[in-house]
Amino acid sequence: MDVDCGFDKDGRWFRYRAAAIIMRDGKVLMARNDAEPYFYSIGGGVQHMETAEAAVRREVHEEIGLDPPIDRLAFVHENFFSGSTTSGLSGRDCHELTFYFLMAFDPARPPIAAPRTTNGVREWFEWIDLATHGRERVAYPTFFAAELVQLGSQPKWITTRG
């Protein structure tokens, strides 16, 4: 049985995840579903004994049916937040550590959305313009709007508290 690296105990929740940054023409590919009022990055939990790179490859394949190559690590994001009722984490102090990998996009192979999340909720993917990222609808991570338009050549550590 594959087990994600994380825990949910005594009002504290932690998750180690790997996520993709797939861009084209000033837009980033984001996910959305019927249960949440926001966009979110493509990716998911890193499983025990799995590398972050292997996890992002697996998650991207599971979620959009593609196997784009990893260009490089772009961000390490340490995110502290209070769980909400919409996230299913109500009342918990949350800490998430995510490795964001820049992945290549091949316009000849469009993403194929998996019709359901692991919880059975309908999910789809949209290209979000970086110029309006998070303005028309909340989008996580929020730092994408500023950081992706000035993406440096070295990985950047970002800490957010919300």
pLDDT digits (tens, 9 = 90+) for 8-60: 999 999 999 999 999 999 999 999 988 888 999 999 999 999 999 999 999 99
Q: Looking at the domain assignment, is residue 19 inside a domain?
A: yes
Residues 6+ apart with CB under 8 A from 62: 44, 114
pLDDT the model gives residue 86: 59
Mean of pLDDT values over 60-88: 88
Q: Indicate whether 29 belongs to any domain.
A: yes
**pLDDT one-digit tens code per residue, 104-141:** 988 887 777 666 666 778 888 999 999 999 888 899 99
Per-residue pLDDT for 2 more than 80?
A: yes
CATH number at residue 127: 3.90.79.10
Domain that holds residue 51: 6-161
The answer to whether the pTM exceeds 0.85 is yes
Q: Is residue 88 part of a domain?
A: yes
Judge whether 93 lies within some domain.
Answer: yes
- According to the per-residue pLDDT averaged within each range, which of 88-92, 129-133, 155-159 is highest? 155-159
Residue 153 above 90 pLDDT?
yes
Average pLDDT over residues 139-160: 95
pLDDT computed for residue 117 by the predictor: 63
Q: What angle do CA 87, 46, 142 make, to 5 degrees?
A: 45
Residue 13 in any domain: the answer is yes
Which pLDDT band, with edges at 50, 70 and 90, does 85 fall under? low
Residue 38 domain-assigned?
A: yes
Closest CA to 5 of 98, 80, 81: 98
Tell me if 1 is assigned to some domain.
no
Tally the domains of the chain.
1
Q: Identify residue 156 by its one-letter amino acid code.
A: K
Residue 106 within a domain: yes
